[in-house]
Amino acid sequence: MSTPRLSPQCSLLTRFRRSNQGAVAPLIAIVMLALIGCMGFAIDVGRSVLVRARLVDALDAAGLAVGARLSTTDYSADALKFVSANFKGGYAGATVTKVTATANSTKSVISLSATATVPTIFMKLFGQKSVTVNAASEVTRSSTGLELVMVLDNTGSMDDSHSMPTLRKSANDLVDILFGGDAVATNLYVGLVPFSQTVNIGTSRTSWMTGTKPFGWSGCVLARKAPLDQTDDPPSATSYKFGYYKYDPFSLTYYYNRYCPQSVTPLTNVKSTISNAINAMTADGNTHINLGAVWGWRMISPRWRGYWGSATLPLDYGTKNMSKAMVLMTDGKNTMFDSIYTAYGNLSDNNLGYRLTESQAEAELNKRLTTVCNSVKSSGIIIYTVAFAITDPTAKSLLQNCATNSSYYFDAANQTALNTAFQTIGDSLSNLRVSK
């Protein structure tokens, strides 16, 4: 019997079934799929690494910004704003989902964390639609030191019913920011110069004075003759000493020491000392801003070391890791009235110029304020100026030009703005560094 012959179609199928030449193809397909998966995973992981790096940078920037605003009450909310501003929306498709920021008890360390979600490109083929990225940062206030003098308007227009309580609170807020939780600070010294139409140096400093001490003198002094009323020369010789402020002892209607403000408080690192002095301020008298400024300079000028009761303060200019700053605040322009006795005596005494009118005398006080401000800035002292509820354009211009630069000048139109200005100054004076 003959063997039946297969059709060509059956023969082809038989050979294909028996052939092993294409057995590797499925394996290659599986390996290729795995390689594609690994490459996709690597790409998605790489994108998440880039997102994390960008998130860390944004968190560091937010930490510095938030840390420099130690007056804030909601660190997390502020940090979220700064992270959002620095982490541009849509970067690698990522979305910031959470930002937290907390301060320690002394507000010296700010700890921050952030979380972002990154959508995957290849891993979503395997069911992984997104990757969560975490970042952390820590900001520490540096240990650089500061000598600060607050030169504050205590004139009659700073009435006790409204303005003076706000000033006391604002100045104390600044002190709170700088001291943090410390009762006694390290490398921080704060002084206070209340001023009106004179300045009170305290009754114990009679060695600075010339002439006979009047009965009942409360510590206020006359201005020295120009140009010494505009310098930081200490009272080391008779010609550099100060006269006793008496307030027209020949008048029957006035009494000694009228319009004499509270005594100055020399540099101290004890928080309660400066806070108690701030709380004791009262409002009375007229305005000689230039005298407040020059006495503020004398309080932190190294030429006065030893005069204020400390053998080591004020420190030298340029002392390593130490800065010097002045906050000069007033609510009005310089004033000089013909009938009012001030640190320059009566207008008729011609201590501001020969036979000047009231407006001419005020212009002279403005000129002397500018001279003092320029000298203070030339010494390397930072000046912040605050114009409180001032409408006079000349007075505003004087204060703006007195400041170290325009960003150090604050036009506080009302009590809320005054408080904000002092908090901003306190934040500005707080130095920071990224510690982690």
Confidence category of residue 22, pLDDT binned at 50, 70, 90:
low
Write down the pLDDT at residue 166. 96
More confident call, 311 vs 431: 311
- Beta strand 199-200 pairing with 145-153: unpaired
Confidence of residue 240 (pLDDT cuts 50, 70, 90): very high
Average pLDDT over residues 363-382: 98
Q: Mean pLDDT over residues 158-179, rounded?
A: 91
Angstrom distance (rounded) from CA 199 to CA 229: 12
What would the DSSP string read from start to end of 360-380?
HHHHHHHHHHHHHHHHHHHTT
Q: Where along the chain do its domains lie?
A: 26-140, 145-434
CB 110 within 8 A of CB 78: no
Q: Given this model, what pLDDT does residue 204 score?
A: 95
CB atoms within 10 A of CB 357: 12
In the predicted model, what is the mean pLDDT of the chain?
86
pLDDT at 109 over 90: no
Average pLDDT value for residue range 184-204: 96
Rounded to two decimals, the pTM is 0.78
Under a CB-based contact definition with an 8 Å cutoff, are residues 434 and 64 in contact?
Answer: yes
Choose among 201, 217, 242, 197: nearest CA to 343.
Answer: 197
Question: Angle at Cα 182 formed by Cα 176 and Cα 185, nearest 5°?
Answer: 95
Alpha helices in 252-392 (DSSP H): 271-279, 289-300, 358-378
- For residue 412, the cross-strand partners are 388
Contact 217, 257 (CB under 8 A): yes
CATH class of 145-434: alpha beta
Banded pLDDT at 198 (limits 50, 70, 90): very high
Is the pLDDT assigned to residue 254 strictly greater than 90?
no
Predicted confidence (pLDDT) at residue 259 exceeds the cutoff of 70:
yes
Question: CA-CA distance, 383 to 377, in Å (whole number)?
Answer: 7
67-87 tens-digit pLDDT: 777 667 788 888 888 888 888
pLDDT at residue 58, as a whole number = 84
Q: Which helix (H) or strand (E) holds 115?
A: strand 109-119
> How is residue 373 written in tokens?
């401000």
**pLDDT (tens digit per residue) in 51-63:** 788 888 888 888 8
- Decide if pLDDT at 97 tops 80: yes
- Nearest-angstrom CA–CA distance, 301 and 182: 26
